[in-house]
Amino acid sequence: MRAIGEQALLIAAGLTLALANPSAATMPLTVAGFLVSVAYAGLVEGLAPEHGRWLGYAGAGYAVAAVLFPQWCAFLPLIAYDCARSPAFFDARRWRRIIDRGIGLIWLVPLVVLLMRDGAVDGFAPSVPVIVTAVTLLGNGLGSARVEAHTLRRTLQRTQDRARHDSRIMRIRLSDIDEERARAVRMATLGERTRIAREIHDNVGHLLTRAIMQAQAGKAIADATGAPHASQGYAALGDTLNDAMTMIRRSVHDLEDDGTDFTAQIADAVHSFSGVSSGFSVRLLNGIGAAPAPVARCLATVIRESLSNVVRHSKAKQATVTLRDFPAFWQLVVQDEGPSRHDGPADGGTGRIDSSTAGTDDDIEGLRGMGLSDIETRVRALGGTSLCGPYQGGWRVFVSLPKTRWSQHPSDAMR
């Protein structure tokens, strides 16, 4: 908008100079010069910067015409203004750069010719050539200032955009650093809790167990020798030690549960098999946020055993591990799309068979190996059930662990 306002002022100045001493004979040339200059200004506004060089040539053409038609010099301020604003696409060759810069200043030629005529121009007052020269130089300077202001504004915008971009990147990095620091602190805290629980279990627990056995032995000896008072004392001591053992066991299991990051433990079990063979990937769908430490260890072990079975005895390119948290139980499903590698009955001890060759339940039971037996043993130890077998062309391991025994205190459930 500022450029249009400046152009309007220069057009008004040109009309004022052209009509300062009007002549009927030169009026057509004056009108033609006015129309051509306005058309050129419109081209500069509409076509720049894609056609900067050709606009420069057009401005040079107007300057040449102004030499032939001095009345056109009244509108040279507008031409000089637009020539200064026309973008120049300078060539790498030196001679071409010189030509382009010369074309941008060719409007000086008609001014020199106008001044050399010493006011002998039909339709111009004697002082008009000097005023035209001054206004033209002012218009060119104004156009150069407009270009410089535009360049500085664009540079400022780019600098601000770059600063905002750098600020966003810095905030993202700081957020990542904060998350990593929080994760490291949490892992260190969990590790320390696990270490404390292990030391209590290994040291204090063994000492209390020995003291309980000594109290029971003393009570047995007192009963055998007929010392009822001593027997009662040993019995009371044994009860106290048993209560202490129960409290320590609860504390150890509480620390162990707090020191177990269920999500990280499951993710580690899954991701350890991602990419273990060419083109093989594992997809994890974890709907369990937290679980007791024994449950977490059991599920992680079952996942590792199941994925190991898939890698060794299946041609599947993908396996899916799904964990669901129901109100009464936790559920784990590990499934691959198959097919089996047809390794035969001696299948590495995992019990993996192909669904296309599966017969009766007795056939499947006869092919059970150490891998499936280990899964079943671990699941049964927590009161759960497991089902392993062919499913939809592949193989599925289905595990369900009840929450009933964990509704009590975890240490009581493990006794």
- Does 317 have pLDDT greater than 50? yes
pLDDT of residue 164: 92
- For residues 3-10, give the mean pLDDT: 79
* Opening angle at CA 327, ends 321 and 333, nearest 5: 15
The three-class DSSP label of residue 55 is helix
**Beta carbons within 10 angstroms of residue 335's beta carbon:** 20
What is the full DSSP assignment across 227-260?
-HHHHHHHHHHHHHHHHHHHHHHHHHHHHHHHT-
pLDDT of residue 109: 78
Query: What are 137-188's pLDDT values in tens digits?
Result: 888 888 878 878 888 988 999 999 999 999 999 999 988 888 888 878 877 8
Question: Taking Cα atoms as reference points, which of 316, 309, 304, 314 lies closest to residue 369?
Answer: 309
CA R_g for the chain: 47
The three-class DSSP label of residue 263 is helix
The three-class DSSP label of residue 173 is helix
Question: Taking Cα atoms as reference points, which of 170, 171, 247, 179 lies closest to residue 208?
Answer: 247
8 A C-beta contact, residue 411 and residue 243: no
8 A C-beta contact, residue 218 and residue 238: no
Q: How confident is the model at residue 201 (pLDDT cuts 50, 70, 90)?
A: low
The three-class DSSP label of residue 386 is strand
pLDDT of residue 408: 56
Q: Which CATH superfamily is domain 262-413 in?
A: Histidine kinase-like ATPase, C-terminal domain (3.30.565.10)
The phi and psi torsions of 353 (rounded to 5 degrees) equal -130, 160
Which sequence spans correspond to the domains of the chain?
A: 2-157, 187-258, 262-413
Measure the CA–CA gap between 210 and 216, rounded to whole angstroms.
10
Q: How confident is the model at residue 259 (pLDDT cuts 50, 70, 90)?
A: low
8 A C-beta contact, residue 280 and residue 311: yes
Measure the CA–CA gap between 66 and 44, rounded to whole angstroms.
19
Q: What's the Cα-to-Cα distance from 83 to each of 4, 7, 326, rounded to whole Å?
A: 15, 12, 78
Query: What are 49-78's pLDDT values in tens digits?
Result: 555 667 777 777 888 888 888 777 778 888
The three-class DSSP label of residue 331 is strand
What is the helix (H) or strand (E) element at residue 400, kind and residue range? strand 394-402
8 A C-beta contact, residue 52 and residue 86: yes
- What is the pTM assigned to this prediction? 0.41
pLDDT of residue 409: 47
Q: Look-up: residue for tokens 């056995």?
A: 213
Q: Which two tokens stand for residue 334?
A: 């590990």
Give the chain's length.
Answer: 415
